[in-house]
Structure 1
């Protein structure tokens, strides 16, 4: 099952270290079969508000995502981003290709007690 690294980057302070991070990050992903799915703008907000930009990186599974984040190679460059960009980074497990949201709803319906 795929896993994702999702970053919501709320504010950026221009700095050459950000460009260095962008230049070096793919080399940290390669050993874990990580690749970018989304990397920043443009974003079209159709509901609500979305300050900033987003990054989505796909991995083959959650183990690979965790190993990438904890790797010496990534930890060596993470400060290049976090020193200049405020944001959040999440590791999220994806769903199988045959995922059916109606089945998920049925399970939640069976587990939920509604109070009138």
Structure 2
């Protein structure tokens, strides 16, 4: 089942380390089938407050998402982000098509 790495980037201190992180992350995703679906961009507020930016990376399944995160290549660049930003990061499974809202009641 498709899975997603989702990050709510609350604060980012732009500088050389974040630039280096951005220059290197794509190569870490490729071996695990990861690809960006959302990477920052304008957020149109509909309800409440959303400080920061949203990042969504798609993976073929949660195991590959976890293997990417735990990989030596990603762990080597992770401090470039964590030392220069504040974020909430989660892995979440997608849903099978067709999915209805009531499917969660089963």
Q: Could you list the structure 1 runs, at least 4 aligned residues long, displaced by more than 6 angstroms after superposition.
A: none
Distance 2:93 2:11 in 1: 26
Local SS of the residue matching 1:43: coil
Please give the TM-score of this superposition, normalised by the length of structure 1.
0.87
Local SS of the residue matching 1:68: helix
Deviations 1:24-54 (A, max 9, x none): 0000000000000000121111111000111
**How many positions carry a matched residue from both structures?**
106
> Alpha carbon RMSD of aligned pairs, Å?
0.9
User: 1:114 maps to which residue?
Assistant: none
Deviations 1:2-25 (A, max 9, x none): 000000100111211101101100
Local SS of the residue matching 1:10: strand
Q: Does 1:11 align with 2:16?
A: no
Aligned residue runs from structure 1 range 22-101, under 5 A: 22-101=22-101
Deviations 1:78-98 (A, max 9, x none): 011111111111111111122
Note the residue ranges of structure 1 that are not aligned, 5 or more in a row.
108-116
When Rg is computed on C-alpha atoms for both structures, the one with the higher figure is 1
Note the residue ranges of structure 2 that are not aligned, 5 or more in a row.
none
Please give the TM-score of this superposition, normalised by the length of structure 2.
0.95
Local SS of the residue matching 1:5: strand
Distance 2:85 2:49 in 1: 19
